[in-house]
Amino acid sequence: MSSFKELRIVDNFYQTSSYFPMPTILVGTIDDQGKTSLGAYSLCFPYYVAGKSYYAMILECRNSSNTAQNILKRGKASLNFLPNNKKYFKETVRLGYPGDSSEEKMAKTNLHLEDGLVTLDDQSIRPQIVSESYQVFECSWVSELENASECKAGELDGYEPPYKDFNGITSKFGAHFILRIDKIVMKEKYHQAIIDGVKATSFPKIPVDYGYRDNTNFWYTGSKKFMKEPIPSAKAMDINTVRFAADRTDPNIRFTDEACQRLVKVPRIFLKVALESCAKWARENQVTVIDAKEMDIINDKRNKEKKN
Ligand SMILES: Cc1cc2nc3c(=O)[nH]c(=O)nc-3n(C[C@H](O)[C@H](O)[C@H](O)COP(=O)(O)O)c2cc1C
């Protein structure tokens, strides 16, 4: 007999039938008066994380919300991450109450707004960012994906089909927005921690939405203690495995034993990519033999790129 019991999967299953850890984000958009409007959102996650010419988040929201309508009209959003603080969470829940206009909500807010960093080097109008945030992603809606620019604002009582699959109006009451990340900005203290290497004491304390909610409460937790779990140490490969792959990388480039030795700890599934990137560097620099010295140069270059 199973130790699990099944729950019915219903609308909003992440709130009704699950405990589901999520961020709490205040999404800033520009309203019809050109002012910044804030709405509370948890369904906001990384979408393109590598291998594209840009990075993106996905935001899932009610299509009649101020946020959705503003994105449909003006395409810009700031994703404001606030630290754990009872006062801020209370305000987040207030900004998450449906039905009020942006003007009504923003007139009462105790949060502060300031210009983001994108506005300094971009002519487009951007929502301001919340000063109390520990980090903000400044974003633009990728409305060209799935021809989502065909989706127009204005239907507040539900949209009729056809619907988009993943970008724009996706159902009668739903919308998804793929948001290109134009800038990630962070408060100095947390920025510095990432540069220096984060310790248990340097993490921001973040409210985590637990998904589950009933008719009266949103449930969340603040981060109190930070624990670490070491990543399994790399299992070294036999040098012959590296040699076998290295000899098949580029017929015009030879890897010495010392160079192969440098690669024994690369996880096996990444070995081909690692060898190919070394070979690419060699071709670009008219190098035909990759030895320890060349591996040092390649590693230095990679470390510099990572730092940038
Ligand atoms: C913590 C929290 C998280 C929420 N997450 C979402 C979400 O991911 N998607 C959504 O459509 N509504 C979400 N809501 C409800 C919206 O905040 C609500 O629809 C609100 O009216 C949106 O504000 P706006 O109309 O100014 O955009 C959330 C509310 C709270 C308090």
Q: How far apart are CA 168 and CA 196, in angstroms?
A: 40
Q: Give the residue-averaged pLDDT of 210-225.
A: 88
Q: How far apart are CA 256 and CA 251, in angstroms?
A: 14
Of the three residues 175, 190, 222, the one that is the final residue of a domain is: 222
Residues 93 and 160 reside in one and the same domain: yes
Q: Which amino acid is at 61?
A: C
Q: Give the residue-averaged pLDDT of 279-301.
A: 95
Confidence (pLDDT) at 120: 64
DSSP β-bridge partners for residue 290: 255
pLDDT-wise least confident of 75-84, 164-173, 181-190, 261-270: 261-270
Q: Give the residue-averaged pLDDT of 190-209.
A: 92
Confirm or reject: Cβ of 197 under 6 Å from ligand 1.
no
Of the three residues 222, 252, 274, the one that is the final residue of a domain is: 222
Per-position b or e across 192-202, b if 16+ CB within 10 A of its CB: ebeeeeeeeee
Q: How far apart are CA 68 and CA 62, in angstroms?
A: 7
Nearest CA to ligand 1 atom 23: 39
Residues 66 and 203 reside in one and the same domain: yes
Confidence (pLDDT) at 63: 98
In terms of Cβ atoms closer than 10 Å to its own Cβ (0-12, 13-18, 19+), residue 17 is middle
Q: State how far the alpha carbon of 167 is from the alpha carbons of 25, 59, 92, 116, in Å.
A: 20, 9, 25, 25
For residue 229, being part of any structural domain is answered with no
Confidence (pLDDT) at 305: 81
For residue 6, being part of any structural domain is answered with no
Q: Are the CB atoms for 220 and 89 separated by under 8 Å?
A: yes
Residues 131 and 254 reside in one and the same domain: no
Confidence (pLDDT) at 261: 94
Q: Give the residue-averaged pLDDT of 264-286.
A: 94
Confidence (pLDDT) at 215: 84
Confidence (pLDDT) at 224: 85
pLDDT in tens, 104-126: 999 999 999 999 998 766 777 89
Q: Are the CB atoms for 298 and 278 separated by under 8 Å?
A: yes
CA of 72 from ligand 1 middle (Å) equals 17
Residue to mutate, 38, 41, 58, 94, ligand 1, most ligand atoms under 8 Å from C-beta: 41
Confidence (pLDDT) at 123: 74
Domain of 122, CATH number, reads 2.30.110.10
Residues 192 and 112 reside in one and the same domain: yes
Q: Give the residue-averaged pLDDT of 47-69.
A: 98
Residues 215 and 91 reside in one and the same domain: yes
For residue 2, being part of any structural domain is answered with no
CA of 25 from ligand 1 middle (Å) equals 9
Confirm or reject: Cβ of 94 under 6 Å from ligand 1.
no
CA of 210 from ligand 1 middle (Å) equals 14
Confidence (pLDDT) at 231: 80
Computed from CA positions of residues 195, 196, 200, 205, in that sequence, does the dihedral angle turn out positive or negative?
A: negative
Q: How far apart are CA 119 and CA 61, in angstroms?
A: 25
Q: Which amino acid is at 146?
A: E
Nearest CA to ligand 1 atom 4: 41
pLDDT in tens, 127-136: 999 999 999 9
For residues 192, 198, 199, 200, the Cα torsion angle rounded to the nearest 10 degrees is 110
Q: Give the residue-averaged pLDDT of 129-148.
A: 98
Residues 117 and 196 reside in one and the same domain: yes
Q: How far apart are CA 154 and CA 69, in angstroms?
A: 7
Confidence (pLDDT) at 121: 67
Residues 38 and 136 reside in one and the same domain: yes
Per-position b or e across 151-171, b if 16+ CB within 10 A of its CB: bebeeeeebeeebbeebbbbe
Q: Is the pLDDT of residue 296 over 80?
A: yes
Of the three residues 196, 222, 248, the one that is the final residue of a domain is: 222
Count of beta carbons in the 10 Å neighbourhood of residue 14: 16
Residues 281 and 171 reside in one and the same domain: no
Q: Are the CB atoms for 223 and 208 separated by under 8 Å?
A: yes
Instruction: Assign 213 a pLDDT band (cuts: 50, 70, 90).
Output: confident
Q: Is the pLDDT of residue 280 over 90?
A: yes
Residues 199 and 273 reside in one and the same domain: no
Q: For residue 24, give the ligand 1 atom closest to its CA.
A: 1
Residues 179 and 245 reside in one and the same domain: no
For residue 4, being part of any structural domain is answered with no
Q: Are the CB atoms for 139 and 79 separated by under 8 Å?
A: yes
Confidence (pLDDT) at 253: 96
For residue 176, being part of any structural domain is answered with yes
For residue 277, being part of any structural domain is answered with yes
For residue 234, being part of any structural domain is answered with no
Q: Which has more pLDDT, 304 or 245?
A: 245
Q: How far apart are CA 24 and CA 252, in angstroms?
A: 53
Residues 195 and 246 reside in one and the same domain: no
The domain tally of the chain equals 2
Round the average pLDDT of the chain to a whole number and report it: 94
For residue 232, being part of any structural domain is answered with no
**Structural domain span for residue 260:** 239-307
Confidence (pLDDT) at 157: 96
Q: Which has more pLDDT, 214 or 85?
A: 85
Residues 120 and 244 reside in one and the same domain: no
